Amino acid sequence: KAGVTQTPRYLIKTRGQQVTLSCSPISGHRSVSWYQQTPGQGLQFLFEYFSETQRNKGNFPGRFSGRQFSNSRSEMNVSTLELGDSALYLCASSPGRGTQYFGPGTRLLVL
Amino acid sequence: DQQVKQNSPSLSVQEGRISILNCDYTNSMFDYFLWYKKYPAEGPTFLISISSIKDKNEDGRFTVFLNKSAKHLSLHIVPSQPGDSAVYFCAASASTGAGSYQLTFGKGTKLSVIP
């Protein structure tokens, strides 16, 4: 099976702009989670989607949002970008509980 | 409040010897634990997991031990190989209701295996 794919792999934006990241899960996986990785904070949970519904949300401001489509593909959006949003954004898919399989990530740099 | 802690930011081990990576947790609701390996600029790769009903799980060179009373788990790699050099993350999950299983990660331990 193909693994989790994320596009784009690298992105440069300026403060105040918005960005949309895309994730295609492993075929058959219905759960998609998003994480932010920064050097200081490690991997932090953003949100999880299952069957097009947000099932769980981490402690991030409302500027971070997401959605999931009927084919399980997911997007996350960050509006009004801040310098501190520079990070590696990781998507993970899961067939059910526990084990999540990660994509390669999207490296976002905000200038 | 950090619910999953990896207190050693780095570890160096000779090739062929055992690597032991440690992880402590505080949330007694965690019932599933995982280890991931991560190279720079890549996503984490799943290594091994253990349910709270077990105290040991083995997969080839990797063994995870869980001590529930101490809220401690460890990953043993035997024998260590240079290709094992990476950052290792411990993660834990607990059901948050409606079937959702959010992962909480430690901050990672950088393992260097010296040839």
DSSP string, B42-103: S--EEEEEEETT-SEEEETTEEEEEETTTTEEEEEESS--GGG-EEEEEEEEEE-STT-EEE
Q: Which of A50-59, B10-19, B89-98 has the lowest mean pLDDT?
A: B89-98
Average pLDDT estimate for B89-104: 82
Contacts A99 to B, Cβ<8 Å: 34, 46, 49
What's the confidence (pLDDT) of residue A90? 97
Amino acid at B101: Y
Confidence bin at B98 (pLDDT 50/70/90): low
Mean pLDDT of A36-44: 87
Q: Is the pLDDT of residue A1 over 80?
A: no
Q: Considering chain B, what is the average pLDDT of its residues? A: 93
Cβ contact B101–A101 (<8 Å): no
What gap in Å lies between CA A4 and CA A23, rounded to an integer? 7
Average pLDDT of the residues in A16-43: 93
Question: B103–A58: do the CB atoms touch at under 8 Å?
Answer: no
Average confidence (pLDDT) over B8-29 = 96
Share of chain B above pLDDT 70, in %: 97
Is a pLDDT exceeding 90 seen at residue B64?
yes
Task: Check CB contact of B52 with chain A, cutoff 8 Å.
Answer: no
Quick check: B46 and A99 CB within 8 A?
A: yes
Q: Which of B7, B33, B64, B105 to mutate to test the interface with A (most CBs of A within 10 A)?
A: B105
pLDDT at B88 over 90: yes
Do B43 and A90 count as a contact with CB atoms less than 8 A apart?
A: yes
Write the residue in A50, A98, A105 that is nearest to B34 by C-beta. A98
pLDDT of B34 over the 70 cut: yes
pLDDT at position A41: 79
pLDDT at residue number A40: 76
pLDDT at B15 exceeding the cut of 70: yes
